[in-house]
Amino acid sequence: MLICGTAPDLIIMIFNYLKIVLLLNAACILSISCQKKSITKQLNTQTTIKLMTDYKEQFRPQFHFSPQEKWMNDPNGLVYYKGVYHLFYQYYPEDIVWGPMHWGHAVSKDLISWEHKPIALFPDELGHIFSGSAVVDIHNTSGLGTKENPPLVAIFTYHLMEGEKAGRTDFQTQGIAYSLDNGDTWTKYQGNPVIGNDDIKDFRDPKVFWHDETNRWIMALVAGDYAMFYSSSDLKEWVYLSDFGQDKGAHGGVWECPDLFKLKVGETDEEKWVLLISINPGAPNGGSGTQYFIGDFDGTTFTAEHTDEKWIDYGADNYAGVTFNNTPNDERILIGWMSNWYYAQNTPTENWRSAMTLPRELSLIKENDNYFLRNTIIEAFENYKTIIEQNDRISLDKKFVLSDYDFSQSEIKFQVNLTRDLKITLKNDKEALFFEMNPSEKEMTLDRHQSGLVDFEPRFAEAVHSMPYDAVEKEVDIQILMDKSSIEIFIDRGRYVMTEQIFPTKNYTELQISSKSEGVSIKNMKVSKIKAIW
Ligand code: FRU
């Protein structure tokens, strides 16, 4: 983890930084073909690279994962092994815009505080390393490790840029790599690619998991705007099983980053299969979003039971979310990329771009014979909070105002006896973010057009974003998390969620809660400061 506070630390930091620069210069002079790729590799082997930022830049999230520097998109290879959660991610180590993809790597014991690791996977002659998953091959089915030391196996998409540029349609294939040292170093499999391409232009993002019922590996991946399933006994030979979705769900863009898993319905013994599909563009509020299907997977075919579109998050900035394999108690924990391809490469940060959502535990609920996903922040997050303001009961007959606070790294939580409208405003002296709930209109809205810097890309704030709201409970839980440049709103314990980026030029210092209706009151209000993880 990066700690960079005291004077001696600072001197060491400067010294180490100069050391890297000198080393790189020397390397460049010695080698005429000083390719960017090889610089990346050298940087990567310098452990001192960890000290290249103090994580205090304007807009830098304090309790969400973000790369130390440069470009990041999708979470990849989410897996738990031997007490450690691994987060790999789409990474371009040479610029703050998308480029030749690598897998960056970080580890955590509690999913909130992260430690950066060297880059795990580099592009090679088969292509750039696009999104994918990782499994613990506990029985060494692949033969890439031993029974005593089973391998971690990463399954990813190779994207061959030359093929794409030449106008071919077979430039995405699937490859694997393995690690025998708990994810620290990775070796690409000699027999790559393990799945070739028969002319499918967008053929990517394999999510692999062990399917107990049929005793084999299952892979979900996407092909254009539908999903495909494959099976394997050894992670190397794959057999096509079936397709899903040509006539189901939203199709406003390409399907990406699938995930397939089983969940219990509430506290009952009923079980359902859930298929997550990210889509870009085509999300309800424009650009990138994640839809899901609920149904059954019989080991070969996935069938959805509903015709309505379901979205995991109605905010504009939760994309490519997938869940961890091999979690200790079978929890389903999702991490998403907190951005949107509409403007991801234009956001006003300088030496890094984008962050991940907080990890969220997924559960299934049944409402009027329809099933929905709930996502709630994992429990470990509780350890990072310190309550700074409490109020048992507040009537909203008059507007409630909390001013002179710093909300830039905070949680606001309360319950409301919501029968009518509610408006929450977070502001500084010139910028404001508005969230409104309107049960009679069956809608909630988030309006960021005055929230701070917005004009770096026209689509960032051109519309007020809305979420359908079918209020079933009278008393509703509201939880709002703000972390410098993001806001995550969870209504009714994660039944309704909106995640968005914001770029206030000054911290928000005022909270207002109001209702146009009479008799609305809020209970158990708690405002907490959240500890920084860096
Ligand atoms: C989703 C995505 C994936 C792809 C990766 C490339 O954001 O487009 O489909 O594998 O990003 O970086």
E-state strands within 470-509:
475-483, 486-491, 496-501
Phi, psi (degrees; rounded to nearest 5) at 255: -80, 140
The candidate with the shortest Cα–Cα distance to 64, out of 349, 423, 387, 478, is: 349
How confident is the model over 400-459, as pLDDT tens digits? 999 999 999 999 999 998 778 999 999 999 999 999 999 999 999 999 999 999 999 999
Residues 476-496 have a mean pLDDT of 97
State pTM to two decimals. 0.91
Q: Which ligand 1 atom is the nearest neighbour of the CA of 222?
A: 9
* Beta-strand relationship, 115-121 and 271-280: unpaired
How confident is the model over 250-259, as pLDDT tens digits? 999 999 999 9
What pLDDT, on a 0 to 100 scale, did the predictor assign at position 441? Answer: 94
The candidate with the shortest Cα–Cα distance to 192, out of 161, 165, 160, is: 160
Distance 274 CA to ligand 1 centre (A): 21
Lookup: tokens for 243: 């397709």
Phi, psi (degrees; rounded to nearest 5) at 406: -110, 105
What pLDDT, on a 0 to 100 scale, did the predictor assign at position 1? Answer: 26
Helix (H/G/I), strand (E/B), else coil: 257: strand
Question: What average pLDDT does the chain have?
Answer: 91
Contacts 24+ apart (CB under 8 A), 269-273: 270/366, 272/296, 272/364, 272/371, 273/297, 273/302
Residue 157 near ligand 1, beta carbon < 6 Å? yes
Comparing 32 with 518, the larger pLDDT belongs to: 518
Residue 320 near ligand 1, beta carbon < 6 Å? yes
Lookup: tokens for 344: 């991801």
Q: Count H helices, E strands: the chain?
A: 3, 33
Q: Which ligand 1 atom is the nearest neighbour of the CA of 90?
A: 12
Catalytic residue among 9, 74, 95, 212: 74
| Burial degree of 94 (CB within 10 A; 0-12, 13-18, 19+) | middle
Residue 129 near ligand 1, beta carbon < 6 Å? no
The candidate with the shortest Cα–Cα distance to 149, out of 135, 139, 158, is: 139
Contact between 426 and 410 (Cβ < 8 Å) = no
Dist. CA 430–CA 504, nearest whole Å: 9
The candidate with the shortest Cα–Cα distance to 260, out of 204, 289, 221, 290, is: 221
How confident is the model over 147-183, as pLDDT tens digits? 999 999 999 999 999 999 999 999 999 999 999 999 9
Distance 89 CA to ligand 1 centre (A): 10
Instruction: Establish whether 74 is a catalytic residue.
Output: yes
Pocket of ligand 1, candidates 130, 159, 343: which has the most ligand atoms within 8 Å of its Cβ, to mutate?
130
E-state strands within 233-284:
239-244, 254-264, 271-280
Distance 476 CA to ligand 1 centre (A): 36
Residue whose structure tokens are 């000290």: 51
